[in-house]
Amino acid sequence: MQTTFTPEQLKDPATARSNEILRACVHCGFCTATCPTYQVLGDELDSPRGRIYLIKDMLENDRPADEKTVKHIDRCLSCLACMTTCPSGVHYMHLVDHAREHIEKTYKRPLFERILRWTLAQILPYPMRFRLALLGAKIGKPFAFLMPDARLKAMLAMAPKTIPPVSRNDDPQTFPAVDKKMRVALMTGCAQKALNTDINDATIRLLTRLGAEVVVAKGAGCCGALTHHMGKTESSHAFAARNIEAWTAESEGEGLDAIVINTSGCGTTVKDYGHMFRNEPLAEKAAKVSALTKDVSEVLEQLLTRDLDFTTPQGDGGKPLHVAYHSACSLQHGQQVKTAPKTLLKRAGFRVSEPRDAHLCCGSAGTYNLMQPEISGELKARKVATLEERKPDVIAAGNIGCMMQIGSAASVPMVHTVELLDWATGGPIPPAIADFEPGAPRATAPPRLR
């Protein structure tokens, strides 16, 4: 794609990077075939190619974002399926991130949207605030029908039936390994600590059992992804900087072999810290943190170098439990980790299947299911239907957002991959399976979008 940025514009590192990305695009349109919003809406401007044209026009002319551009950029899930598909290697993630930052700086949203986005940014990254908000949503859930806006209804619907108690495993501390082989830092996250404490608990048990000393670093917290994808760069970099300093201290102290992340949406962002801070004083530290960061499945592949005595749970008919695996977009597209989780589950003896259109997003995408509930609901309905076609005993994924999204409508239990691996190697049955109530009311799918 030809661009006409001026030399003065290209002095800005973000613009220079966007120029590189735009020039790589050859207009081929392969991305439209795998873009979830294009599949649902059928609008060229809701495809990566269409959004690239809008972003190019906005940045090249150095103009404030307009309502049309904002509408279509907001509808982007940042699922990054287009990056997996693109034969030219267009790094759409960095381009859309720059566009969102530009929108945040130059476009004044309607008052209600500004309040909504500010509220989400002030609540979701903070576990205790989020817990209080979930409690309020739980109380208000029966009155959701009175809400005047679909986004407010979506926020009330997000409240889980039960809010787990705080897990003290998430406090800064060190968990010794059985037969120590490595030392890792575990990112405990933010929203995950409020929504599902079983995941970190299972991760710690599994890693220490397999030989990893696990440290929860003092000062580490939210990765910054939630505000990063809202274009709130100052906020997201502040979160990221605290993590970089916390993990650098651990690395320079007793040393780290990896920074382990069990929420793939966070993992994609932390692996990009090197790029985010490339022109800032923390550049060197950020690059080292990114290089150390691994999804939990990547670390488990390193640790499982020999066969263990797996005790695979049984499903119907005495067969090994049938797991339908949902590959989170941030894992398969953002990090290009595609086989490790499935390989680990198969090694543990589970029967593993994947849905049709496994490359398509479930519609969670950070705050997307709250800000774009109609599109998100359509994608959720499609994903749940294709997963349940496989007739699984349980559905597994590696990202809390996907788990909440799919689990709200699935008719079988929804668990994290590490919970199943923990169970198969001597841990307890995942509470989501033990407490599951067959036939319990689930979320209904919204009307299909036209």
- pLDDT band of 446, cuts 50, 70, 90: very low
* Euclidean distance between CA atoms 242 and 244, whole angstroms: 5
Each as own residue / partner, the long-range contacts of residues 20-29 (CB below 8 Å, 24 or more positions apart, any chain) are 21/90, 21/91, 21/92, 21/94, 21/95, 22/52, 22/55, 22/56, 22/95, 24/88, 24/89, 24/90, 24/91, 25/1, 25/49, 25/52, 25/88, 25/90, 26/1, 26/88, 27/1, 28/87, 28/88
Q: What is the pLDDT of residues 371-387, one digit of tens each?
A: 999 999 999 999 999 99
Instruction: Answer yes or no: is pLDDT of 449 > 80.
Output: no
Q: How crowded is residue 125: how many other Cβ atoms within 10 Å of its Cβ? A: 22
* Euclidean distance between CA atoms 9 and 12, whole angstroms: 6
H helix runs in 253-389, sequence order: 264-270, 273-276, 283-292, 296-303, 329, 340-347, 368-371, 373-388
Question: How large a percentage of the chain has pLDDT more than 70?
Answer: 95
* Euclidean distance between CA atoms 353 and 68, whole angstroms: 40
Q: What is the pLDDT of residues 20-43, one digit of tens each?
A: 999 999 999 899 999 999 999 999
Instruction: Answer yes or no: is pLDDT of 88 > 80.
Output: yes
Q: How far is CA 42 from the centre of its chain?
A: 25
What one-character-per-residue DSSP string does 386-414 give?
Answer: HHHTT--SEEEES-HHHHHHHHTT-SS-E
If we measure between CA atoms, which residue out of 401, 226, 424, 268 comes closest to residue 326?
A: 401
Q: Are 96 and 73 in contact (CB under 8 A)?
A: yes
Q: Say if strands 212-216 and 293-295 run parallel, antiparallel, or are unpaired.
A: unpaired
Instruction: Answer yes or no: is pLDDT of 445 > 60.
Output: no
Phi, psi of 29 (to 5 degrees): 85, 5
- pLDDT band of 148, cuts 50, 70, 90: confident
Q: How crowded is residue 386: how many other Cβ atoms within 10 Å of its Cβ? A: 18
Q: How crowded is residue 109: how many other Cβ atoms within 10 Å of its Cβ? A: 16
**Radius of gyration (Cα) for the chain, nearest Å?**
21
H helix runs in 217-256, sequence order: 225-228, 233-252
- On average, the pLDDT of the chain sits at 92
Q: What is the pLDDT of residues 306-365, one digit of tens each?
A: 656 677 676 666 788 999 999 999 999 999 999 999 999 999 999 999 999 999 999 999
- pLDDT band of 149, cuts 50, 70, 90: confident
Q: How crowded is residue 436: how many other Cβ atoms within 10 Å of its Cβ? A: 17
To 5 degrees, how large is the angle CA 352–CA 356–CA 358? 75
Give the tokens for residue 297.
Answer: 């499945």
Q: What is the pLDDT of residues 272-281, one digit of tens each?
A: 999 999 999 9
Instruction: Answer yes or no: is pLDDT of 402 > 90.
Output: yes
Instruction: Answer yes or no: is pLDDT of 447 > 80.
Output: no
- Any idea what DSSP says for residue 330? I
* The pLDDT of residue 320: 86
Q: What is the pLDDT of residues 89-108, one digit of tens each?
A: 999 999 999 999 999 999 99
Q: Say if strands 394-397 and 322-325 run parallel, antiparallel, or are unpaired.
A: parallel
Question: How large a percentage of the chain has pLDDT more than 90?
Answer: 82
Cα distance between the two ends of the chain: 32
Q: What is the pLDDT of residues 257-272, one digit of tens each?
A: 999 999 999 999 999 9
Q: What is the pLDDT of residues 205-221, one digit of tens each?
A: 999 999 999 999 999 99
* Euclidean distance between CA atoms 271 and 334, whole angstroms: 9
- Any idea what DSSP says for residue 223? -
